[in-house]
Amino acid sequence: MKLRKLQVLKKIKQSVTRLTFLKVSRFLFCAFVFLIPFQIDVVVYTSPVYEGGNFNPYTSIFYYLADIVFLLSLISWGIAILSGEFKQKLTYGRWFIFLLLLLFVLSCQISVVFAEDSWLSLMLSVRFLELLIVYLYMVNDIVKLDTIINVFIASVSFQAAIAMMQYINQGSVGLHFLGEPVITPGTPGIAKMDIEGTNIIRSYGTFQHSNILAGYLLTGIFLTFYRVRQKEHLAYPIMILLLAALVLTFSRSAMLALVVASLVFISIKDMKVSFKYVFLALSLFVFFVVIFNLEGTIFSRLLFTDTGSFDERVFYFSIAKKMIYLQPFGVGLGNFTLAMPDFTAVKLAPWDFQPVHNIYMLLINEIGVIGFGIFAALLVLMVIYLFAHQNKFKSEKPDAGVFILAALVALGVIGLFDHYLVSLYQGQLLLFLVLGLSGGYLMTKIR
């Protein structure tokens, strides 16, 4: 027994001696990617937007466990550079993409000047500086592209499993220590469907809203499809799990984005879609609809019989249009919600204080027309670069580029109907992770 203990201790000692700051940095970054969906956080600042003092997440700053893990990863990387462990030349990726990212972050910083709550705007602009560093970390290939994809798929698969349990349970499953929100059919403000007088909750995972979960699942679906094309057997059940969970979010924007991005993928790959695959996909869809008794819910969502969310979006859009005309240089990053009462005669209730449900309109309103133009140019140029790069370096093996491109297009479509990719931490990181994957992919065959 003593001999066995000595052998174990010897192996541990050998492992520790082989540990380097670079390896620690890689491990911590993978942990950071996995932890992003979990709302393990603390509020460090909040700006009141209503006389009653109601808490509003869109005018609040949180620090997350993921932030701390990324900071430790960054420190470890810095020590590895200084000690000579990291020997490769540092890069900022494609210079024009980086320039646009830098100008976008600078636009966020400048918007502080026009903000009603300059402290809120400043702290959010620092968040976007952190996102820029995440991008740089990824394009420098510290952690391999395939490893990041695998970790992201693992994290999203865990979220999909939680989503399935939440729908079956019609409520939270007791993972509040991981940031799971308290959800029941009777909880005020929870995303749910009213079907023939019965409230049916939409799955959340550990996110603030079902639509954010849908965005992560959709990104995970395209990255998992990359693994399916590589004929990795584990990818097949994961794909089914992610698709099933996506259905249970009842997110119309994600469903539309899935269709549009899939059409883009098919057109780029010049694929002939086999009838058997279409039949298989439809069969799986019908199976999950029947097994979870979703017929009425899907009918209600797809045919827009629930017009409440549509009317809400139109209302926010009307405010956003007035804001553009009167404040073309923006009202400050994160300050749309604070400025809303100045651009409508309607008395706003606490739950009405939300950003406009369109990231492009939101950016015009908050950082101005110039800042929005930089962001739009960034997305368009990234799509062009991805398309050109994967065409230039075509190979017989499945290439990650077209799958990352499809994910980026999907997020672009979602941005037309929702705000979380700009307004909330998990959404911001999802966008920049896909941009980081894109930037890292563009460096392949070049290094």
Residue 66 lies in a domain: no
Residue 261 lies in a domain: yes
What span, in angstroms and rounded, lies between the C-alpha atoms of 417 and 143? Answer: 33
Total count of domains within the chain: 1
* Residue 120 near residue 339, CB atoms below 8 Å: no
DSSP β-bridge partners for residue 192: 201
Residue written as tokens 């395939």?
146
Residue 248 lies in a domain: yes
CA distances from 173 to 131, 182, 211, 338 (A): 31, 9, 19, 34
Residue 76 lies in a domain: no
pTM: 0.89
Residue 30 lies in a domain: no
- Here the contacts of 312-317 (C-beta below 8 Å, separation 24 or greater) are 312/357, 313/357, 313/417, 315/346, 316/354, 316/355, 316/356, 316/357, 317/356, 317/357, 317/358, 317/361
What span, in angstroms and rounded, lies between the C-alpha atoms of 159 and 242? Answer: 9
pLDDT of 327-341, one tens digit each?
A: 999 999 999 998 888
At residue 302, the pLDDT reads 52
Residue 11 lies in a domain: no
Count Cβ atoms within 10 A of the Cβ of residue 300 and give its class: 0-12 exposed, 13-18 middle, 19 or more buried: middle
What span, in angstroms and rounded, lies between the C-alpha atoms of 105 and 435? Answer: 14
Domain containing residue 295: 94-442
What span, in angstroms and rounded, lies between the C-alpha atoms of 59 and 337? Answer: 7
Could you list the pLDDT tens digit for every one of the 447 residues in the chain?
Answer: 555 655 555 555 555 556 789 999 999 999 999 999 999 999 998 887 666 567 788 888 999 999 999 999 999 999 999 888 888 888 988 999 999 999 999 999 999 999 999 999 999 999 999 999 999 999 998 999 999 999 999 999 999 999 999 998 888 998 999 999 988 877 777 777 766 667 788 899 999 999 999 999 999 999 999 998 888 889 999 999 999 999 889 888 899 899 889 888 887 765 555 545 555 555 655 555 555 555 455 555 554 555 556 677 788 888 989 999 899 999 999 999 988 888 887 787 777 788 999 999 999 999 999 999 999 999 999 999 998 887 776 655 567 888 999 999 999 999 999 999 999 999 999 999 999 999 999 987 654
Residue 212 lies in a domain: yes
What span, in angstroms and rounded, lies between the C-alpha atoms of 40 and 177? Answer: 7
What span, in angstroms and rounded, lies between the C-alpha atoms of 316 and 313? Answer: 5
What span, in angstroms and rounded, lies between the C-alpha atoms of 107 and 132? Answer: 13
pLDDT of 160-214, one tens digit each?
A: 999 999 998 888 998 999 999 988 877 777 777 766 667 788 899 999 999 999 9
Residue 144 lies in a domain: yes
In sequence order, which residues have a C-beta less than 8 Å from that of residue 220 and are 6 or more positions away? 152, 153, 156, 157, 160, 242
CA nearest neighbour of 57 among 420, 369, 381, 375:
420
* Residue 255 near residue 244, CB atoms below 8 Å: no
